[in-house]
Every structure is written in C-alpha cells, then in structure tokens.
Structure 1
Amino acid sequence: MKEFNIEIEIDENGNIIADTRGFHGKVCEQELDDLLEGIDGESEDKKKPEYFAKEQIVTKTNIKNKL
C-alpha cells in the first residue's frame, strides 16, 4: 500500500513550509490547498520533479471467452 505524507514546518516567525511525499501531479497541490485553506499571506510554490511525473495506474482485467 502506497503511503502519502504531508510535512508541515512552522518557523519562529510564523512562516509555514509544507512538503508532500508520495504524491504525483496536481493531486499534491489540491491536498495542500485543502489543508492550508483559510491561512492568509503570501505563498510561493516550488514544484519537485514528482509533480511532473505521471502516476502509473495498473489495472487488472479478467476476460473469459464464452465458446
């Protein structure tokens, strides 16, 4: 099972640094937006290489032919 984490650091000046682990693509942005909703102030985004990686989706399908 894949693990997803969000690490939040608040420094002595009240600045928030948030980092995600295990997320790929825009889902990490959405999760951070939901988590930090309502917090005012300036923000700066730094996207990691994982943001640009495509999530691999593996599906398994069983098809049986009826003869």
Structure 2
Amino acid sequence: MRVDPVWKKISDTYQQWDQDRSGLMAIDDLSERLPDIDYELLLRTLEQAAQDGRVDAPEEGGAFRLIPNH
C-alpha cells in the first residue's frame, strides 16, 4: 500500500510537535510548518484522514490530533 506523501508529512510533523500524540494541533500551525503544501490540500487530506479514523478533529474545527496506532 502506497502512503500518501501529504499525509506522511502531516503525520511526521504532528509527531515531532507532540510525541505523546495527545494534543490538539491547530491547522494554521501545521500550515506554517509545511509552507510547501497548499492549505486547501492540507484540509482535504485531514478531512479524508478523519473519515478513515486516522485523526480526531473536534466539531469546532481548526485543530486535530492523530489517533494512536494509525
């Protein structure tokens, strides 16, 4: 199975930011850390990851956390 390169960058960046994988990371913060990736592409990738159960994104939006073991 091929890993989406955008998802890989998001996952790696989040894990460097919070090694315990428990904090909510602001999407704006993620965007600042990954300036080479279009903001809309980040949003679409995170939306797909939420549908796949790889991230938790609270209803108010604007932040996310990785779900362990994904």
Same fold (TM over 0.5): no
Query: As a proportion of its length, which structure holds more strand?
Result: 1
Normalising by structure 2, we get a TM-score of 0.35
Tell which structure's C-alpha radius of gyration is larger.
1
TM-score by length of 1: 0.36
More RCO (CA 8 Å, sep 6+): 2
